[in-house]
Structure 1
Amino acid sequence: MAIRFVRVVVIWLLVLATLWVTEPYLSALWFSASAPRTVTPRGSLADSEQATIALFKNVSPSVVHVFARAAPTDSLFSDEGVVQSGSGIIWDAAGHVITNNHVINGTAQIGVRLTSGEFVAARVVGTAPNYDLAVLQLERPTSPLRPIAVGRSADLQVGQSAFAIGNPYGLEQTLTSGIVSALRRRLPMTAAQEVKGMIQTDAAINPGNSGGPLLDSSGRLIGVNSVIISGSGASAGIGFAIPVDIVNRVAAQLIRTGHVPEPGIGVVAAKQDEATSLGIDGVVIVRTLPDSPAAKAGLEGATADGVIRDVITGANGKPIHSMSELASTLDDVGVGNQVSLTVDRGGQTRSVKVTVGDISQLDQG
């Protein structure tokens, strides 16, 4: 009896072992999808997905790819020299395109690829380096142009949705999304000029997105993507866009005159760290430009032997600590209007009225 029980147990163990060894082969034989799988119906897209799809379809024809080369050649895509690229926005039916100044700065040949695939030569209408903006004119495009819908940036709120369309790393017509992360950021564009009210977003922005649109959930332009902050140079969730209210004003002036006045008083200032090392809190005037508003108002730069004469410590009753703060105040005052400066000379403080001028028209020598 015991021997029979042992035999039964051994047989069952052999059967189980055989099944364990052959199971993968049997599964592959019986369950493999050797024919195309049946598609599972998915139902309707979510409302938010449909809205995003519609946004991209409506706006993407207004976004172009901008190419620029320092030296002109027979073909913009020849092997001669480096071609830099970015994004652009169709601004009006006349063929004006908005992009960043740094996308085309220092270049001699510019081309634009439309969403239709057409490649069109372009020329510079005007630039505003202090705002990192430029306006291009397309040369005889044959494809229909769709100007972008323009919104407002003054009423934006932190937390609302934001969408970016551009050409990161040359990958055309790329859509990313996020939110408005912060408002009223101040970022330097030049050594003495910063743009106020910059929009911060976590929508992925990478090299090549520069000059492309930042959009609200209605597909309206709320900013022009310009800057990222990243240790690697790639998106780190901190991107910045120039507010559309500034873009609207600057673009109109560039199209009308090719020039945007640069409010200033015509002073060359010492670097802020140099002033700090001397224990001075304010704008140290190194020299005044010839025939500038500052020179006409009697402000003086340092003497030939390095003796500091005038230091600007306030403007219109507010303290001034740096040249960028002074430039921001002068931008608010506007060309042709007066600003009241608080000036320190040799320990004596006085108030000086200066008429703000367009310093881009002054001799910088």
Structure 2
Amino acid sequence: MLLSSGVTLGGVVAYDQLLGSDGASTAATSSSSTQGPVSTASSTSDPDWSAVAAAVTPSTVEIQVAAQGGTSTGTGVVLDTKGNILTNNHVVDGGQQVQVTLSDGSVYAASIVGTDASTDLAVLRLDDPPSDLQPATFGDSSSVAVGQDVMAIGTPLGLQNTVTTGIVSATARPVTTTGQQPDGSDSTYTSAIQTDASINPGNSGGPLVDATGAVIGINSSIAGVASGQETSGSIGLGFAIPASTAKLIADQLIDGGTAQHAYLGVTTTDGSAEASGTTRTGAEVVSAEDGTPASKAGLRKGDVVVAVDDTPVDGAAALTGVVRGLAVDSEHTLTVVRDGSEQQLTVTLTAAS
């Protein structure tokens, strides 16, 4: 599965491909997840990564998926004591048999509770969960800052409980993944956390944690240099789905197996406009359908959306990614450039049909 985005290094890759028997790539929260801080001796100013790893590893699992075309391996995060596990949709897509290995090596059968291709998230549930499951703690991804220390935990190339460290390289990075459908109906748009922590095939669905051990993102893709191979290893450009989006979708999947998505009701393209003598790039409105949140908010053709609340928008994919990470019925402020000046419009998002 190749992902295309603003990254120009050869594309972004959803890196846990389904492997056939010949090894060739064939492409392919619950309330308890908001428990108190992880008990570690670490601090944000002087991270003790050994303590963080010891605290978070028990909440991280290896996922093995058997499908018609072969097998794949990914990572997951324990959401609660009921055995719900959060991972990426592309890890389990097409899976006929799922097996989860805990950090202590114990192996359990699992079933798919629900999947959401548009955010690349899925929830599994252990068929017979142990009584001592340790749920992960989820942090506030909206407060993530560029330059802060982070750790990625997962199963790269089948090596379970591997930890790597780095920093947050960027926030609200628009990443667009193109799936296998010719019409693009299975494309994923994410307003992602970018990190230089080493992420490789097998890390998908694993946690990106801060120096306190709180999950701030779910690792999902990497950028790769163009080559004869469809995927490559880490070059220091990894992307994670923000924890706020992950929890929003996971809670819905646990409740009903499906997820609703926020809807703005606008068609946009990459564009730019001048405001107060400065050129701003953003999502230029091509049309706003009557009766939609966009039209009710006053968006009109030619407007260039440059921000949603405090999140900058530099193009059409960025706007889609931001909106998909927001809750249905939530109210937000759109900053638009119109007739040479910035304006703020208030919009209430509805559910996509």
- TM-based fold match above 0.5: yes
CA distance in 2 between counterparts of 1:205 and 1:142 reads 29
Asked if 1 retains the 8 angstrom alpha-carbon contact of 2:197 and 2:238, the reply is yes
Q: 1:358 to 1:235 in 2, by over 3 A?
A: same
Q: Please state whether the residue corresponding to 1:151 is helix, strand or coil.
A: coil
CA contact (8 A) 2:245 2:326 kept: no
* Correspondence for 1:106 among 91, 94, 100: 94
User: Are residues 326 and 157 of structure 1, via their aligned partners in 2, closer, same or farther at CA, if it must alter by over 3 Å?
Assistant: closer
> Contact (CA 8 Å) 1:293, 1:357: kept in 2 or not?
no
Structure holding more helix per residue: 1
Residues 293-349 of structure 1: CA deviation (Å, up to 9, x unaligned): 67xx9xxxxxxxxxxxx978667999x997636645755886468999x9xxxxxxx
1:253 to 2:222 alignment = no
Secondary structure at the aligned position of 1:87 is classed as strand
TM-superposed CA distance for 1:358, in Å, is 3.4
How far apart are the structure 2 equivalents of 1:106 and 1:216? 32
**2:226 corresponds to 1:210:** no
State the SS of the aligned residue for 1:59. Answer: helix
Which structure 2 residues correspond to residues 69-88 of structure 1 after superposition, within 5 A?
69-71=66-68, 81-88=69-76
For 1:263 and 1:200, how far apart are their aligned partners in 2? 23
**Pairing partner for 2:219 from 215, 220, 225:** 225
Match of 1:51 in 2: 48
Number of the residue aligned with 1:302: none
How many Å separate the matches in 1 of 2:327 and 2:120?
19
Q: Which has the larger radius of gyration?
A: 1
Give the partner amino acid of 1:230: G
1:61 aligned onto 2:83: no
Q: Distance in 2 between matches of 1:317 and 1:148?
A: 32
- What CA RMSD, in Å, does the superposition of the two structures yield over aligned residues? 4.2
Q: CA offset at residue 189 of structure 1?
A: 4.2
Counterpart AA for 1:208: G
> Cα offset for 1:65?
0.6
TM-score, normalised via structure 2 length: 0.63
- The DSSP-based 3-state class of the residue aligned with 2:153 is strand
1: CA distance, partners of 2:326 / 2:61: 35
Tell me the TM-score normalized by structure 1.
Answer: 0.61
Gaps of 5+ in 2: 1-41, 179-183, 226-230, 271-282, 337-346
Q: Alignment identity in percent?
A: 38
Higher mean C-alpha deviation, range 258-267 or range 158-167? 258-267
- Secondary structure at the counterpart of residue 128 of structure 2: coil
1:119 alignment partner in structure 2? 107
**C-alpha distance 335-253 of structure 1, shift in aligned 2 (>3 A):** same
Query: What CA distance in whole angstroms lies between the structure 1 residues aligned with 2:199 and 2:306?
Result: 38
Stretches of structure 1 lacking an aligned partner (at least 5 in a row): 1-46, 72-80, 273-280, 298-309, 343-353
The 5 Å alignment of 1:1-365 reads 51-71=48-68, 81-142=69-130, 144-189=132-177, 191=184, 194-196=189-191, 198-231=192-225, 233-264=232-263, 324=317, 327=320, 331=324, 335=328, 357-359=350-352, 362=353
CA spacing shift, 1:141–1:323, aligned 2, 3 Å: same
In the TM superposition, what is the alpha-carbon distance from 1:123 to its structure 2 partner? 1.4
Q: Which AA in structure 2 matches 1:56?
A: A
Residues 113-141 of structure 1: per-residue CA shift (max 9 Å, x gap): 11222221111212222221111111003
